Chain A
């Protein structure tokens, strides 16, 4: 039978033969659990007993849960603060680093180092930085110059930005590297032409550099948005005494999912939250691709 196939058909058979392994892998590891999670979101299950049908009960509960809406808001605060701030900072650093020759490699490494550091270790160190006197680095400094202490983590207003700061810092290295690669990819001749025409530095930046960096910016925005929407390890490790606290002011969606699933053992409710997160991630990514795509 195989012999009767045309060359083109044979090529397709072989292509599928090689694709079978990754496809199978994805079906078992990704698609099946995803479908299962969606199914569980319509059921009640405590991990031990049998699953019982719940209809839309979990979603109704979610809609009426004030904690969920607070968590939902927090998640978007992480996104709306984190993504622009890290984008601007990493661009500024990459832009200047690109023009610098002195100790270029060493500086680049310094910026990249936090990205390689374990988020858990980093979160714990920052958590200690933020403590009040006598162990907190920042507050000890403030106290030594006679300024009243700042409650970084034990405050409903300061806690979220305090948790976000190291997360932004940790992601910078990666974004800087991507930006620098993007900058290098812009042909020199454009800049030379601009210089011959006597164009100002600002115009070069606005008219040449940024427009040509658009694919890079799209990539970084989508990538870091997804990262901030599913922020977990920094928050969890900096607030382990009161995960997502104080008073849920730092709790992101993923932490709520984790808590519902593995402390409350309410798998159906956790799955419903997961489905909401999935939809949010999907919508945000599609929206960004659409907005930032070339018109």
Chain B
């Protein structure tokens, strides 16, 4: 921030504070809730300060809760007329919140659907129901391939892999075993418990020519030729190419942090903790392209929405606040403070952001990312974990295990949509 800007900002804040005191009697206070995560709280404090400076008649009070209690608290507070006017929620929860009438649609005159679809990255369209958007993100996350630069150098690999074939070839060079044949370093980490289940669903299945779901994610469709090829490739990393082991060093990210893994697929939220890991030199590249050059990615995000509690002048204030937290300025602040990616190409695709060595690959991935509409993410993840374990531990065939998994996941979806 330049001195001039800083001065202007300070002036604005001071002026804002002055008018706030002057018009204290007319001040509207709205409440904002999110779960507690240090960087997100800092970023939101900054956004609130900026917002209050330009809207002196509105004050925003932020309350945070531990992640584990969050949903319960929100559910208990809003029907009682307490709690937030603007609330943060995971995109996968939207349906439940709409059904329970905890949130209200964003006004179409301010948040015109056509405009949103032109401004935001395409996966945000999952937040539209009927003629309205119900919630919008400030920031989004996507996946990339992290690689260990030291290990790459040691193995004589000059550039990060661009395709799955190149990735497997590199992984073979990076794998190390001890005298007894036990793995001591893996080429690439593997484990459905981490981000690999997203990689499988939205990336590998598509790259082998399939479409993982049909009917707006209500029908499982990966029990196909493409799905079998994808699972064959994935379990083949362990069984055929022998470049990794499931559960190596307990957790994929632990193996990568310890410098015992050449490559690792993870989300943009991992950047912060990797930056803090001493002695680890790492780079990021886009997820490798499939055999026919298809690229895909998975994106998830937290959104903000206006609750049904907000009425009258609080509602107007909440709309203004929503406008600000989805503005370009807010997104840049969020990227700088939290490291989460902007939800609009106008901010993400600036030269500085899209070519950033760390954020760039993630942001470029957003252009072709998909967002799975989960009904119960942890249960659906469990299905894929079990699928791989049946192949890995029990020696079931890839085709049978895939069929079983598809049936199990379809049952979860059917049960959910039958009762909602």
Q: How far is the CB of B117 from chain A (nearest CB, A)?
A: 28
Cβ of B248 and Cβ of A48 under 8 Å apart?
Answer: no
Q: How far is the CA of A206 from the CA of B275 in the complex (A)?
A: 65
B393 touches A155 (CB 8 A): yes
- Residues of chain A within 8 A of B376, CB atoms compared: 263-265
Residue of A whose beta carbon sits closest to that of B185: A134
Does B115 touch A at the CB level, under 8 Å? no
Interface check B35, CB cutoff 8 A: no
Whether, in the assembled complex, B108 has its beta carbon less than 8 Å from a beta carbon of chain A, the answer is no
Q: What chain B residues lie within 8 Å of A242 (beta carbons)?
A: 193, 382, 385, 389
Residue B247 is within 8 A (CB to CB) of chain A in the complex: yes
> Within 8 Å CB of A264, what residues of B?
376, 378-379
A154 within 8 A of B: yes
- Minimal beta-carbon separation of A128 from chain B (angstroms): 7
A132 at the interface (CB under 8 A from B): yes
* B116: interface (CB < 8 Å): no
Q: Which residues of B contact A128 (CB under 8 A)?
A: 250
Does B260 contact A246, Cβ atoms closer than 8 Å?
no
Chain A nearest CB from B72 CB (Å) reads 6
Residue of A nearest to B181 (CB): A148
State the CA gap A191–B229 with chains docked (Å): 75
Q: Is the CB of B180 within 8 A of A146?
A: yes
B183 to chain A minimum Cβ distance, whole angstroms, is: 7
Say whether A241 contacts B99, CB under 8 Å.
no
Given the complex of chains A and B, what is the CA–CA distance between A47 and B77 in angstroms?
12
B249 within 8 A of A: yes
Contacts of B247 in A (CB 8 A): 132, 153-154, 241
Does A49 reach chain B (CB closer than 8 Å)?
Answer: yes
Q: Report the Cα distance A153→B393, complex, angstroms.
A: 11
Distance of B121 from chain A, by nearest CB (Å): 28
Contact B100 A46 (CB under 8 A): yes
Knowing A143-B178, A154-B393 touch, does A265 contact B96 (C-beta < 8 A)? yes
B248's closest neighbor in chain A, by CB?
A132
Per-residue interface assignment for chain A, residues 143 to 163, with 1 indicating a CB less than 8 Å from any chain B CB and 0 otherwise: 100101100011110000000
A48 with B182: CB separation less than 8 A: no
Determine the distance from Cα of A245 to Cα of B192 in the docked complex, in whole angstroms: 13
- The 8 Å CB contact of A245, one of B182, B248, B389, is B389
Q: How far is the CA of A131 from the CA of B260 in the complex (A)?
A: 14
Q: Is A135 an interface residue (CB 8 A)?
A: yes
Q: Is A234 an interface residue (CB 8 A)?
A: no
Q: Which residues of A contact B260 (CB under 8 A)?
A: 134
Which of A48, A149, A246, A263 makes the CB contact (< 8 A) with B75?
A48
B275 to chain A, nearest CB (A): 23
Known: A156-B393, A245-B389, A247-B389. A47 touches B72 (CB 8 A): yes
Within the assembled complex, what's the spacing in Å between the Cα atoms of A56 and B102?
28
B390 within 8 A of A: yes
B68 touches A263 (CB 8 A): no
**Interface: B386 (CB within 8 A):** yes
Q: Contact: A127 with B250, CB < 8 Å? A: yes
Asked if A53 is an interface residue, CB under 8 A from chain B, the answer is: no
Chain B residues whose CB sits within 8 angstroms of the CB of A146 once the complex forms: 180
Residues of chain B within 8 A (CB-CB) of A199 are none
CA distance A264 to B416 in the complex (A): 10
Q: Which residues of A contact B393 (CB under 8 A)?
A: 154-156, 246-247
Partner of B250, one of A131, A148, A263: A131
Known contacts A48-B102, A241-B193, A246-B393, A149 near B378 by CB under 8 Å? no
Whether B71 pairs with A143 at a CB distance below 8 angstroms is no
B97 within 8 A of A: yes
Which residues of the other chain, B, contact A127 by a CB distance below 8 angstroms?
Answer: 250
Q: Is A133 an interface residue (CB 8 A)?
A: yes
The verdict on A225 contacting chain B, using a C-beta distance below 8 Å, is no
The answer to whether B96 and A259 touch across the interface, beta carbons within 8 angstroms, is: no
Q: B356 an interface residue at 8 Å Cβ cutoff?
A: no
Q: B168-188: contact bitstring with A at CB < 8 Å (1 yes, 0 no)?
A: 000000000010101110000
Q: Which residues of chain A from 16 to 74 have any CB-CB distance to chain B below 8 Å in the complex?
A: 44, 46-50
Q: How far is the CA of A150 from the CA of B376 in the complex (A)?
A: 34
Query: Shortest Cβ distance from B395 into chain A, in angstroms?
Result: 11
The contact of B389 among A49, A131, A133, A246, by CB within 8 Å, is: A246
Q: Are B71 and A134 in contact (CB under 8 A)?
A: no
Q: Mark A93-130, 1 if CB is under 8 A from B, else 0.
A: 00000000000000000000000000000000001100
Q: Which residues of A contact B101 (CB under 8 A)?
A: 49
Contacts of B102 on A, CB cut-off 8 Å?
Answer: 48
**Cβ A143 vs Cβ B182 within 8 A:** yes
Q: Chain A residues near B72: list those with CB within 8 A.
A: 47
B184 CB, nearest partner CB in chain A, Å: 5
Partner of A47, one of B68, B75, B193, B251: B75
Question: How far is the CB of B233 from the nearest CB of chain A, in Å?
Answer: 21
Which residues does chain A contribute within 8 Å of B184, judged by CB atoms? Answer: 133-134
Instruction: Determine whether A190 belongs to the interface, using a CB cutoff of 8 Å to chain B.
Output: no
Complex Cα spacing A155 to B183, Å: 18
Q: Are A149 and B182 in contact (CB under 8 A)?
A: yes
Interface residue ranges of B54-99 to A (CB < 8 Å): 68, 71-72, 75, 96-97, 99
Within the complex, the shortest CB–CB distance from B238 to chain A, in Å, comes to: 12
Q: Which residues of B contact A48 (CB under 8 A)?
A: 71, 75, 96-97, 99-100, 102
Q: A262–B390 Cα gap in the complex (Å)?
A: 26
Contacts from B to A (Cβ < 8 Å): 68, 71-72, 75, 96-97, 99-102, 178, 180, 182-184, 191, 193, 245-251, 260, 376, 378-379, 382, 385-386, 389-390, 393-394, 419
Would you list 29 pairs from A and B whose C-beta atoms are within 8 A, ordered by A residue?
A: A46-B96, A47-B72, A47-B75, A48-B102, A50-B100, A131-B250, A132-B182, A132-B245, A133-B178, A133-B183, A134-B182, A134-B260, A135-B250, A148-B180, A154-B246, A154-B247, A156-B393, A241-B191, A241-B247, A242-B193, A245-B382, A245-B386, A259-B378, A259-B379, A262-B68, A263-B378, A263-B379, A265-B96, A265-B376
The chain A residues found within 8 Å of chain B, CB to CB, are 44, 46-50, 127-128, 131-135, 143, 146, 148-149, 153-156, 241-242, 245-248, 259, 262-265
Starting from the known contacts A135-B250, A245-B382, 14 additional A-B residue pairs (CB-CB under 8 Å) come to A47-B72, A48-B75, A48-B100, A131-B250, A132-B182, A133-B184, A134-B182, A135-B249, A143-B180, A154-B246, A247-B389, A259-B378, A264-B376, A265-B376
Please provide the 5 A-B residue pairs with the shortest distance between their CB atoms, ordered closest to farther: A48-B100, A49-B100, A263-B378, A241-B193, A133-B182
